[in-house]
Structure 1
């Protein structure tokens, strides 16, 4: 493994889901919480605020689709507010409720049904994910980038944001060549680390200096 890649994984090799406390497991609860996190990270708001808001929503009982629908709209707004997700709190509270309803209606509360519906085709999976309110192309990238830890058929999922990070570190600007830099089990963390350095020039400099 390239020395830069080793340092990158050591300094920034944590997925956003892991930072929030979501285990990357192919189970209904973690998959739904990853979807909520992807929704919150999609807005033009700092990732720290989005992650704090996700923690508050989960702590309030919104870590499952059924639990999220049981929260009133105001309870969802309040949870987002406690995470300082204030500019988008009201519209996001509505979207999260609608998203949970769709997970319950279409997937019986279990997002492990999505790969079956998509025929394990990444492009089709992206189309299905975009059916969720609040999930656009950015949300699809966030979800798939981290879900590839549990769903090998998505690999390698290295999106445009990750490629920006690779460019900043002088690494190959090609998803397949980048994926060859790490073992399969590290691709999700590697992709998240690339996104982090793409957004943080000081972090990139630290990785390059060693």
Structure 2
């Protein structure tokens, strides 16, 4: 199986404000589940491209029923209820905590390993999701230019 990249999904991880990182986290969350990659990619495009849920705040504002419907229509039906709940919590927490996490990285208060532990604190985010996410995000998070991510 060929690994899906952020570029394959049209994501610029270095997008100012951290929204590129969020989109890649969202994609990694979906791809990291026990579901066909094609279904996860379709669900990602449904959420981000069709429903314009490209920021954590937008995801957090969606109703549970909306997210369940969008996931189901993308073929994510087996896990739609639990995934919808977890995604909405992910959106809420990322909207509140991503900028402080990035700031801690930029100032040297945290290391990338601390960021990974933060990711693992989300329900539904396991080692596979973190592995997928970090495959592309690690360079950005290690780079001194990570402070650019915080700028809107």
TM range (shorter): 0.7 to 0.9
What is the SS of the residue equivalent to 1:22?
coil
Deviations for 1:105-152, whole angstroms, at most 9, x for unmatched residues? 2235x7634634874523222111111222111111111111134234
* Structure with bigger RCO (C-alpha 8 Å, 6+ apart): 2
Residue of structure 1 in register with 2:7 after alignment: 18
Matched, 1:48 2:38: yes
Q: How does 1:19-168 map to 2 (within 5 A)?
A: 19-27=8-16, 28-58=18-48, 59-107=50-98, 112-113=102-103, 115-116=105-106, 119-152=109-142
Residue of structure 2 in register with 1:9 after alignment: none
- Structure 2 gaps of 5+ residues are 144-152
**Is the Cα contact below 8 Å between 2:39 and 2:75 reproduced in 1?**
yes
User: How far, CA to CA, are the matches of 1:122 and 1:70 in structure 2?
Assistant: 29
Aligned length: 141
CA RMSD of aligned residues (A): 2.5
Distance 1:139 1:37, change over 3 A: same
**Is the Cα contact below 8 Å between 1:73 and 1:94 reproduced in 2?**
yes
- 4+ residue runs over 6 A deviation: none
Larger helix share, 1 or 2: 2
**Is the Cα contact below 8 Å between 2:112 and 2:138 reproduced in 1?**
no
Distance 1:15 1:120, change over 3 A: farther
Distance 1:18 1:111, change over 3 A: farther
What is the SS of the residue equivalent to 2:76?
coil
- Structure 1 gaps of 5+ residues are 1-11, 154-210
TM norm structure 1:
0.59
**Is the Cα contact below 8 Å between 2:119 and 2:125 reproduced in 1?**
yes
What is the SS of the residue equivalent to 2:6?
helix
